[in-house]
Amino acid sequence: MNNPYEPIKTQILKIIPETAQIKTFVLKPENHFEFNAGQFIQLTIPGVGEGPFTPSSSPYEKEKMEVTIMQVGKITSTLHNMKENDLVGIRGPYGNRYPVDEWRNREILIVGGGVGLAPLRSLFLTLTYNLKEYKKIVLCYGAKTPEDIVYKESILNKWQKEFAGKISFRVTVDVGDEKWKGKVGLVTTTLDGIDEEVSNISESIAVVCGPPVMMKFTTLKLLDVGYTPEKIYLSMEKNMSCGIGKCGHCQLGKFLACRDGPVFTYEQLKDIPAIWD
Amino acid sequence: MEKLFVGKDNFLKFVQNLVERFSVYAPVEKEDFLFYEKVNQENIDKIKVDTRRAIHPLKSFFLPARRKVSEYFNSSLVHEQQNCVILGAKNCDLHALKISDSVYSGEKFGVEYKDPFYIEAREKTTLISFDCLSPDEVCFCRLVGVDPFPGEGFDLNFSSLEEGFIIQVGSDKGEKLIKENEALFSAAEQNMINKRDKNRERVVKLIEKNNREFKPAKSYRELIRDSDASPVWKEHSEMCVDCGGCNQICPTCRCFLLTDSKTKDKYERHYLWDACLLTGFARVAGGANPRPYLHQRFANRLLCKFYFFPENINLDACTGCGRCIAVCPGKIDMRKVFRDLAVEKKITVGLEK
Ligand code: SF4
Ligand code: SF4
Ligand code: FES
């Protein structure tokens, strides 16, 4: 009997602290496991419960998988107290992926806020795996303070060097500190003058992930500068229990986020009341 | 297919035969309501198969309020489902199964992820339905296009006449039961079938009469379109005490929660009924809640039935069984909600006086 409620036994290989409240967990599932950028998994803390998370590692990395998790509730707090070699469970992958094949030869703008960079990192690694397929990539990222930046080394240093001249980076913090030499301002300010980077805005792609308010204001600004609703992609965080279209928790208008999402275009969502709450 | 007839005495023999071979469940009256009970020698003469629907929704046979769905990592779950017969289902009950079938074993709700527990329970259950003869005051099936007698979805259907029952066979499972008890049945005569059709007509008229003041000129689907901001939701949810009773009793409400626990030597995962009327139903771990207000959740329940499901499978997820009206401690009546939505949209509601 194929039981969709049964998790796959998975080992925590490594735990990487990102910020005071965010850690990346490197996972090794017992069975072969593949996913595409944008899809999510249900992560089981044995005996405690499950929560939905989107892997942040490259889908091309088949041996292990990473998830970046902020401590916000019971499941995530328990997870933060776990150690390397501990066992967790996973089910999935569920939901849809970023339709990267449709984005060939286009300019792609990625906008992340806080821990929302996690699924976007998986997307970024997917896009850079075939970098020449895309006309241009711009990565915008905003965190509260320099201390809150995730994948700090990659985003401030490694990627910038590796992709110099090919990808532009626009990183900002809401509040700086004495060591911070970068930009200060809300993530929406990274979109100021975006037309200097992106030549054909109405034909280009924008991908947004972050806290609800950040997604809201970023989307409004994107519309303002000329992005079209059907080319703005949003990753929606919803309450999820089953992940497989049955339990009803993730309903969003006529959609189920676990089945029709978690990636939606703004065009799909724009008429649904209270999507940002 | 040819229709059969069974006399009253032979019907009792048929039920006896079933009880000897299977776990048989049938409605039994308790105070004002009918409840499904396992049929045995003590209650066999008390079963009420042909009056109206039981208050128990049929979903509890296929989706029990709590069920273990996994023992993970070190053991694997042994699940035993018994063969059983449900006697006395009504058309609204069968209709509701279309909704749960679509979610748990259909193509539109996760093709690769059907629920094996649900599927097994459905396969091992024989459904013997009956025409309704005396619908409840709160029944309004005809307002949502459901008839008080079945046309499909049963293994056998019985229609009561004074002298016995007309039987319609709906599946191979039903056919087999008939073959095994062949001596009890004869062919139904045309005049019996005419009587059955008269009965059906009478019941349809009765339901329409009971709901005369609620019948809108447009369908509930149309009335609920773009009603999110309507004051009707606030007005009608004023008496709601947020108990979730309407969710639990509703045969088409199918939402659930998975919960994990640890016993001495293993981890367990349970399926538990959940209710979208409850505050935290859609809240995410970070605290955001798309429906913090009761009136939003109240509206959502009916939007699910008349917007979400129609958009997904082109079926209303409400059978007009009236259970939610019968159990609501706040005396909330969804027919009145729709009546007011119609009034607000200036759509005629209520038949000629
Ligand atoms: S049964 Fe009535 S009081 Fe209880 S949640 Fe439903 S509408 Fe509210
Ligand atoms: S919403 Fe009420 S009337 Fe409709 S199926 Fe559910 S319990 Fe029955
Ligand atoms: S998480 Fe259960 S239906 Fe989407």
- pLDDT tens across A208-222, in order? 999 999 999 999 999
CB contact under 8 A, A5 and B269: yes
Cα distance between residue B25 and residue B14, in whole Å: 14
Alpha-carbon separation of residue B129 from A82, B57, B194 (angstroms): 54, 14, 19
The DSSP result for A81-146, as a single string, is T--TT-EEEEEEEES----GGGGTTSEEEEEEEGGGHHHHHHHHHHHHHTGGGSSEEEEEEEESSG
Is the four-CA dihedral A127, A237, A61, A70 of positive or negative sign? Answer: positive
The pLDDT score that the predictor gives to residue B1 is 58
Minimal C-alpha gap between A115 and chain B (Å) = 12
Return the exposure string of B48-59: e unless at least 16 CB atoms fall within 10 Å of the residue's CB, then b.
ebbbbbbbbbbb
Give percent above pLDDT 70 in chain A: 100
> Under a CB-based contact definition with an 8 Å cutoff, are residues A2 and B77 in contact?
no
In the Cβ-directed half-sphere of B272, how many Cα atoms lie within 13 Å? 13
CB contact under 8 A, B286 and A4: no
Minimal C-alpha gap between A200 and chain B (Å) = 35
Contacts with A251 from chain B: Cβ below 8 Å: 282, 300, 304, 308
Looking at the structure, tell me whether residues B309 and B331 fall in a common domain.
Answer: yes
Look at residue A267 and give its three-state secondary structure: helix
What pTM was computed for the model?
Answer: 0.93
pLDDT average, residue stretch B252-274: 93
Contacts with A3 from chain B: Cβ below 8 Å: 69-70, 77, 116
In a domain, B58, yes or no: yes
pLDDT average, residue stretch A182-195: 92
Looking at the structure, tell me whether residues B16 and B69 fall in a common domain.
Answer: yes
Per the DSSP assignment, residues forming a β-bridge with B29 are B34
The pLDDT score that the predictor gives to residue B82 is 85
Looking at the structure, tell me whether residues B284 and B145 fall in a common domain.
Answer: no
pLDDT average, residue stretch A245-258: 93
> Would the pLDDT of A167 be above 60?
yes
Closest-CA residue to B113 (of B124, B99, B103): B103
**Which H or E run contains A127?**
helix A117-129
Per the DSSP assignment, residues forming a β-bridge with A138 are A109, A168
Ligand 1 atom 8 nearest Cα: B240
Cα distance between residue B133 and residue B148, in whole Å: 8
Looking at the structure, tell me whether residues B166 and B90 fall in a common domain.
Answer: yes
Contacts with B296 from chain A: Cβ below 8 Å: 274
Closest-CA residue to A109 (of A186, A204, A199): A204
Give me ligand 1 centre to Cα B198, in Å.
37
Starting at the earlier edge strand, list the strands of the sheet with A22-29. Answer: A49-53, A40-45, A87-94, A8-17, A22-29, A65-70
Cα distance between residue B13 and residue B17, in whole Å: 6
Cα distance between residue A240 and residue A251, in whole Å: 9
Looking at the structure, tell me whether residues B204 and B232 fall in a common domain.
Answer: no
Cα distance between residue A125 and residue A105, in whole Å: 17
Alpha-carbon separation of residue B120 from A27, B76, B84, B105, B152 (angstroms): 34, 17, 12, 10, 20
Amino acid at A16: I
In a domain, B157, yes or no: yes
Structural domains in chain B (count): 2
Closest-CA residue to A233 (of A267, A271, A189, A199): A267
Looking at the structure, tell me whether residues B153 and B246 fall in a common domain.
Answer: no
Which residue in chain B has the smallest CA separation from A45? B260
CB contact under 8 A, B104 and A259: no
Which residue in chain B has the smallest CA separation from A49? B260
Residue B327 Cα: closest atom of ligand 1: 1
Give me ligand 3 centre to Cα A256, in Å.
7
The residue segments making up the domain with residue B43 are 4-211
> Under a CB-based contact definition with an 8 Å cutoff, are residues B141 and B207 in contact?
yes
Look at residue B89 and give its three-state secondary structure: strand
Give percent above pLDDT 70 in chain B: 98
Query: How many helices (H) and strands (E) in chain A?
Result: 7, 15
> Under a CB-based contact definition with an 8 Å cutoff, are residues B5 and B164 in contact?
yes
In a domain, B134, yes or no: yes
CB contact under 8 A, A248 and B77: no
The pLDDT score that the predictor gives to residue B152 is 95
pLDDT average, residue stretch B321-347: 94
Domains of chain A and CATH, by start: 8-93 (2.40.30.10), 100-235 (3.40.50.80)
What are B184-228's pLDDT values in tens digits? Answer: 999 999 999 999 999 999 999 999 999 999 999 999 999 999 999
The pLDDT score that the predictor gives to residue B2 is 73
CB of B242 closer than 6 angstroms to any ligand 1 atom: yes
CB contact under 8 A, B259 and A49: yes
Please report which confidence band the pLDDT of residue A273 belongs to, taking 50, 70 and 90 as the band edges: confident
- State how beta strands A136-143 and A167-173 pair: parallel
Which residue in A7, A47, A72 is closest to B262 by CB distance? A47
Point out the domain boundary residue: B211, B241, B264: B211
Which residue in B114, B269, B312 is closest to A254 by CB distance? B312
Closest-CA residue to A208 (of A149, A259, A276, A153): A276
Point out the domain boundary residue: B152, B182, B211: B211
Looking at the structure, tell me whether residues B201 and B228 fall in a common domain.
Answer: no
The pLDDT score that the predictor gives to residue A136 is 93
Looking at the structure, tell me whether residues B178 and B311 fall in a common domain.
Answer: no
> Under a CB-based contact definition with an 8 Å cutoff, are residues A201 and A226 in contact?
yes
Residue B93 CA, chain-centre distance (Å), reads 3
In a domain, B350, yes or no: no
Point out the domain boundary residue: B176, B211, B246: B211
The pLDDT score that the predictor gives to residue A1 is 58
Q: Which residue of B90, B141, B248, B252 sits with most ligand 2 atoms within 8 Å of its CB, as the best mutation to test the pocket?
A: B252
Rounded to 5 degrees, φ, ψ at B16 are -55, -45
Give me ligand 3 centre to Cα A247, in Å.
5
Pocket of ligand 3 (CB under 6 A): A 240-243, 245-250, 256, 258
Residue A246 Cα: closest atom of ligand 3: 3
Q: Looking at residue B34, what DSSP letter applies? A: E
> Would the pLDDT of B80 be above 80?
no
> Would the pLDDT of B353 be above 50?
no
The pLDDT score that the predictor gives to residue B295 is 93
Looking at the structure, tell me whether residues B30 and B115 fall in a common domain.
Answer: yes
Please report which confidence band the pLDDT of residue B75 belongs to, taking 50, 70 and 90 as the band edges: low
Residue A52 Cα: closest atom of ligand 3: 1
In a domain, B324, yes or no: yes
Q: Which residue of B235, B238, B243, B325 sits with most ligand 1 atoms within 8 Å of its CB, as the best mutation to test the pocket?
A: B243
Alpha-carbon separation of residue B46 from A249, B30, B50, B79 (angstroms): 40, 10, 12, 32
Cα distance between residue B6 and residue B189, in whole Å: 11
Query: How many helices (H) and strands (E) in chain B?
Result: 13, 11
In a domain, B170, yes or no: yes
Looking at the structure, tell me whether residues B175 and B228 fall in a common domain.
Answer: no
Q: Which residues contact B124 (CB under 8 A, 6 or more apart)?
A: B81, B82, B83, B84
Cα distance between residue B119 and residue B62, in whole Å: 8
Looking at the structure, tell me whether residues B229 and B199 fall in a common domain.
Answer: no
CB of B244 closer than 6 angstroms to any ligand 1 atom: yes
Cα distance between residue A12 and residue A79, in whole Å: 10
Cα distance between residue A190 and residue A182, in whole Å: 12
Alpha-carbon separation of residue B117 from B1, B89, B145, B199 (angstroms): 32, 21, 30, 38
In the Cβ-directed half-sphere of B127, how many Cα atoms lie within 13 Å? 24
3-state helix, strand, coil in chain B (%, to 5): 40, 20, 40
> Would the pLDDT of A277 be above 80?
no
Closest-CA residue to B243 (of B162, B159, B330): B330
Least confident residue range of A66-70, A84-88, B180-184, B290-294: B290-294
Ligand 2 atom 8 nearest Cα: B321
Please report which confidence band the pLDDT of residue B64 belongs to, taking 50, 70 and 90 as the band edges: very high
Give percent above pLDDT 90 in chain B: 84
In a domain, B72, yes or no: yes
End-to-end CA distance of chain A: 39
> Would the pLDDT of A44 be above 90?
yes
In a domain, B115, yes or no: yes
Contacts with B233 from chain A: Cβ below 8 Å: none
Minimal C-alpha gap between A195 and chain B (Å) = 33
> For all residues of chain B together, what is the average pLDDT?
92
Please report which confidence band the pLDDT of residue B351 belongs to, taking 50, 70 and 90 as the band edges: low
Q: What count of other Cβ atoms lies within 10 Å of the Cβ of residue B177?
A: 22
The pLDDT score that the predictor gives to residue B18 is 95
Cα distance between residue B70 and residue B61, in whole Å: 19
Tokens of A51: 């929560």
Looking at the structure, tell me whether residues B283 and B331 fall in a common domain.
Answer: yes
Tokens of A55: 């892997």
Least confident residue range of A117-121, A129-133, B70-74, B113-117: B70-74
> Under a CB-based contact definition with an 8 Å cutoff, are residues B284 and B214 in contact?
no
Q: Which residue of A252, A258, A260, A264 sits with most ligand 3 atoms within 8 Å of its CB, as the best mutation to test the pocket?
A: A258
Minimal C-alpha gap between B335 and chain A (Å) = 23
Rounded to 5 degrees, φ, ψ at B164 are 160, -145
CB of B246 closer than 6 angstroms to any ligand 1 atom: yes
Cα distance between residue A219 and residue A188, in whole Å: 9
Closest-CA residue to B39 (of B56, B58, B62, B15): B15
